A and B are shown apart, each in its own frame.
Chain A
Amino acid sequence: KQEVTQIPAALSVPEGENLVLNCSFTDSAIYNLQWFRQDPGKGLTSLLLIQSSQREQTSGRLNASLDKSSGRSTLYIAASQPGDSATYLCAVLEGGATNKLIFGTGTLLAVQP
């Protein structure tokens, strides 16, 4: 059974700092991995999607990497801003005929001005 873990559960950093969020999964037979952001009481905003054949994806100040063999992904946020404060979730899509995302428990990020 696939399990997705995110470390740390919470993180507080001063504005301007670069930071890394971690995501690990137990079964490497995934089709893709997606990073989301969730603001309090809101839905999920897709940040980056990495297909299983890819090693990394970049969007602006965000860079996500994927190492399928070790079951790990990282989300790197450069030059953090207070507006980056949110919960960050990673989710894996298992291979096969399924649309089911399996989510991690999230990292609550607070960027202090």
Chain B
Amino acid sequence: KAGVTQTPRYLIKTRGQQVTLSCSPISGHRSVSWYQQTPGQGLQFLFEYFSETQRNKGNFPGRFSGRQFSNSRSEMNVSTLELGDSALYLCASSLVSGRETQYFGPGTRLLVL
């Protein structure tokens, strides 16, 4: 079974631009969560989607948004990029809820210049 895939793997953007990251969960998994990892803050929860609905949201500004499609693939968007948005963005998938093992993708490394 293929694992969680994320595209692109690397991105370089400039301040003020916007970016869209994509995550394809493991086949059959319906829950997708997004996390931001930085050296200073560690891993922080962004949001979770289940059946095309945002089920939970972390403490991030409205510039961070996401969506989930009917095939469970998810995208997250960051508008008006700031230098502090430079991070590794990870998505995780699980069958239904986080009560099962959550499986993480390889991440997208975003650098904002």
* A-B interaction: yes
Within 8 Å CB of A45, what residues of B? 104
**A99 and B104 contact, CB distance less than 8 A:** no
Contact with A along B28-44 (1 / 0, CB 8 A): 00010101000000111
Asked if B109 lies at the interface with its beta carbon under 8 angstroms from chain A, I say yes
Within 8 Å CB of B105, what residues of A? 43
Number of residues from B at the complex interface, CB < 8 A: 30
Asked if B75 lies at the interface with its beta carbon under 8 angstroms from chain A, I say no
**Chain A stretch 59-106: residues in CB contact (< 8 A) with chain B:** 89, 91, 93, 97-106
Q: How far is the CB of B57 from chain A (nearest CB, A)?
A: 9
Within 8 Å CB of A42, what residues of B? 106-107
Q: How far is the CB of B93 from chain A (nearest CB, A)?
A: 10
Closest to A36 in B: B104
Contact partner, B48, options A41, A44, A99, A105, Cβ 8 Å: A99
| Residue ranges of A at the interface with B (Cβ–Cβ < 8 Å) | 31-32, 34, 36, 41-46, 49, 51, 89, 91, 93, 97-106
| Residue ranges of B at the interface with A (Cβ–Cβ < 8 Å) | 4, 6, 31, 33, 35, 42-45, 48, 50, 55-56, 58, 88, 90, 92, 94, 97-107, 109
* 29 residue pairs from A and B, CB less than 8 Å apart: A32-B98, A32-B99, A34-B102, A36-B104, A42-B106, A42-B107, A43-B4, A43-B6, A43-B104, A43-B107, A44-B104, A46-B101, A46-B103, A89-B43, A91-B43, A93-B98, A93-B99, A98-B98, A99-B33, A99-B50, A99-B56, A99-B97, A100-B56, A101-B43, A101-B98, A102-B45, A103-B42, A103-B43, A104-B42
